[in-house]
Amino acid sequence: MRLISSSAEETREIAAAVAGVCRSGDTVLLSGEMGAGKTVFAQGFGAALGVREAITSPTFTLVNSHPADGLTLHHADLYRLDRTSEIADLALAELAEFDGIVLIEWGEVTADDVPGHLAIHICPGDPDESEDRREFELSSTGERWVGRWDRLRERLSIFAEESC
């Protein structure tokens, strides 16, 4: 599923729509280069889940756990890690098990370890067109998202890229 956001505000709206179909136990992998808008997405995602405290990038803390409505949002950032054992130490799969949703920035490198995830890749659009334009590519693996995919598509239809 491909989407276009033309502002940080729209990125937050997309994130809120995704959060709206997420449930306890889900893992969402966010990828995209520095400045692509991963943390803006995380802020919109967390706000929609009911996180009240400020969401900042956990680049140095590795994982921030935020209480939300009836569950915990575990916000991770793998950017600073160099070895797979360091990812294993975070036990991200366990965090999802216990009334948690796990959102992982730079999460593409752990995709194979998380069957049934939602992957969201953000890339900056043509800088000549608009500095704030972003393209989103959403994909999922496993059975976990099959039943929700149409609902997600419907909620995001206003952001759908027309020419694709």
Partner 1 sequence: MLILGIETATESVGVALGGRDGVLASVTIARGRRHGETLAPAVQFACRHAGVELGDLDAVAVDVGPGLFTGMRVGIATAKALAMALDIPVVPVTSLESLAESTRDHHGLVVPVVDARKGEVFWSMHRSDADGVTALGEPTIGSVDDLLAALGERGQHALCLGDGAYRHATALRDGADCVISGDRHPSADTLVVIGARRALREEWVTADLVAPLYLRRPDAEINWETREVRA
- List residues near partner 1 by CB under 8 A: 31, 33-34, 78-79, 81-85, 87-89, 91, 93-95, 98, 106, 108-109, 115
Q: How far is the CB of 157 from partner 1 (least distance, A)?
A: 29
Backbone angles phi, psi at 139, to 5 degrees: -145, 160
Q: In the complex with partner 1, which residue's Cβ is closer, 116 or 125?
A: 116
Angle between helices 38-49 and 8-21 (to 10 degrees): 50
Q: Are 145 and 116 in contact (CB under 8 A)?
A: yes
Q: How far is the CB of 93 from partner 1 (least distance, A)?
A: 7
Query: What does the DSSP 8-state code read for residue 160?
Result: B
Q: In the complex with partner 1, which residue's Cβ is closer, 85 or 163?
A: 85
Q: In the complex with partner 1, which residue's Cβ is closer, 86 or 161?
A: 86
Give the Cα separation of 105 and 77 in Å (integer): 5
Q: In the complex with partner 1, which residue's Cβ is closer, 98 or 130?
A: 98
Q: How far is the CB of 158 from partner 1 (least distance, A)?
A: 29
Give the Cα separation of 111 and 99 in Å (integer): 21
Backbone angles phi, psi at 140, to 5 degrees: -140, 160
Q: How far is the CB of 9 from partner 1 (least distance, A)?
A: 25
